[in-house]
Amino acid sequence: MIKVQELSKLFGTKRAVDEISFSVERGEVLGFLGPNGAGKSTTMRMITGFIPPSSGTVTVGGFDVVEQAIAARRLIGYLPENAPAYTDMTVYGFLNFTAEIRGLRGDAKKKAVHRVVGTCFLEPVLHQSIETLSKGYRHRTCFAQSIIHDPDVLILDEPTDGLDPNQKHEIRQLIRRMGEKKAIIFSTHILEEVDAACTRAIIIDRGKIVANGTPHQLRSKSEWAGAVTLRVTGISAAAINERMAQLSAVKRTAILREDATSVTARVFPKPNVNGVLAGSIADAAQGWRIEELHTEEGRLDEVFRSITMPDTATEEKK
């Protein structure tokens, strides 16, 4: 559905987006991650046709967003960053207006407005002026606008920004559900959302794609992935270190915490021995009183940091 090819954007001499390429098919939810100023919003603005690319092309549903802008935009629902909306209108008036612009009339319009009011829980503020809405409600109103025509493609720039935990949960569920039939790109700074809603994630940094894969693939890039955390009582840290060093699959052991009664250690595997480590540790630890033993999945925030801030991440490890 969405095809981005060697897309670049220069602001003056600054490269906000630098030759990025990717595609999103129907049924995919693509999470867009990256530090502030990475170029996420700029990329989304080019996909929706708000700003023209400096070079490269974007097609949506086969339509070039520059050459066949109108046809492409019909397929797109867009929630811009900061959820702008006409503050002088009521929620109801605003949704009606966007429905009209999208070509909905009469009964179809009424139904569409009714549907999104339900989906986005806007009932209590329906006739309130947008100016007086709380941030979360304004965000939901703008989100409602983006799905009013039930588009095939959804571009959402930080859709859960400013929502309360319940609403965040609802919106993630909604994105996930809609993602089964649509192609969705959404950007976020909340890494749990990648697990909660995405089928795939892209990390961009300084305008370039630095990682692209399923949440599981990204997580396995973590150096924690496959490490085993172990907590035992009645054994000294030195003894654990010694015993673990004898195992062939172990790269190194880090003592995380040591107090009067127990020691917590994390054992890192050598490359390519994922999965079996926990078993061999359990064998080696016979006779110890094990309170906890589990394999780490690898953490997205750690992957994110090590990819986008390689220097500080290594420093912290030391």
Partner 1 sequence: MNSWSHIKAITKRELGAYFSSPLAYVFIVIFLLLCGFFTFMVGGFFEPGRIPQASLVHPFFDWHPWFYLFLVPAVGMRLWAEERRVGTIELLLTMPITPWEAIVGKFLASWLFLALALVLTFPVVLTVNYLGSPDNGVILTAYVGSWLMAGAYLALSCITSAMTRNQVVSFIISVVLCLFFILAGFPPVIRLLEGWAAPWLISIVTSFSVITHFDGFQRGVLDSRDVIFFLSVIVFSLFTTSVILRTHRAG
Ligand X SMILES: Nc1ncnc2c1ncn2[C@@H]1O[C@H](COP(=O)(O)OP(=O)(O)OP(=O)(O)O)[C@@H](O)[C@H]1O
- Residues that bind partner 1 in the complex, under the rule CB under 8 A: 9-11, 45, 48-52, 69-71, 73-74, 76, 78, 80, 82, 84-89, 93, 97-98, 100-103, 129, 142, 145
Q: Which is nearer to ligand X, 102 or 168 (CB)?
A: 168
3-class secondary-structure state, position 289 = strand
Among Mg ion, ligand X, partner 1, none, what binds residue 241 when CB lies within 5 to 8 Å by partner kind? none
Q: Which is nearer to ligand X, 204 or 230 (CB)?
A: 204
Q: Which is nearer to ligand X, 109 or 139 (CB)?
A: 139
Among partner 1, Mg ion, ligand X, none, what binds residue 36 when CB lies within 5 to 8 Å by partner kind? ligand X
Phi, psi of 122 (to 5 degrees): -100, 0
Residue with tokens 């250690």: 265
Question: How far is Cα 59 from Cα 3, in angstroms, rounded to an integer?
Answer: 5
Query: How far apart, in Å, are the Cα atoms of 81 and each of 58, 188, 242?
Result: 20, 11, 53
Residues 283 and 277: beta-carbon distance below 8 Å = no
Q: Which is nearer to ligand X, 34 or 179 (CB)?
A: 34
Residue with tokens 């990475």: 38
Q: How far is the CB of 190 from partner 1 (least distance, A)?
A: 22
Residues 65 and 59: beta-carbon distance below 8 Å = yes
Q: Which is nearer to Mg ion, 189 or 305 (CB)?
A: 189
Q: Which is nearer to ligand X, 54 or 229 (CB)?
A: 54
Chain residues binding Mg ion by CB under 5 A are 40-41, 81
35-50 exposure pattern, b = at least 16 Cβ within 10 A, e = fewer: beebbbbbbbbbbbbe
Q: How far is the CB of 271 from partner 1 (least distance, A)?
A: 44
Helices (H) and strands (E) in the chain, counts: 12, 14
* Cα distance from N-terminal residue to C-terminal residue, the chain: 45
Among ligand X, Mg ion, partner 1, none, what binds residue 37 when CB lies within 5 to 8 Å by partner kind? ligand X
Q: How far is the CB of 201 from ligand X (least distance, A)?
A: 14
Question: How far is Cα 247 from Cα 242, in angstroms, rounded to an integer?
Answer: 9
Among Mg ion, partner 1, ligand X, none, what binds residue 288 when CB lies within 5 to 8 Å by partner kind? none
Q: How far is the CB of 174 from partner 1 (least distance, A)?
A: 20
Q: Which is nearer to ligand X, 146 or 295 (CB)?
A: 146
Chain residues binding ligand X by CB under 6 A are 11, 16, 34, 36-42, 81
Q: How far is the CB of 82 from partner 1 (least distance, A)?
A: 6
Tally of CB atoms within 10 A around 156: 26
Strands 289-295 and 228-233 turn out to be: antiparallel
Question: How far is Cα 28 from Cα 199, in angstroms, rounded to an integer?
Answer: 6
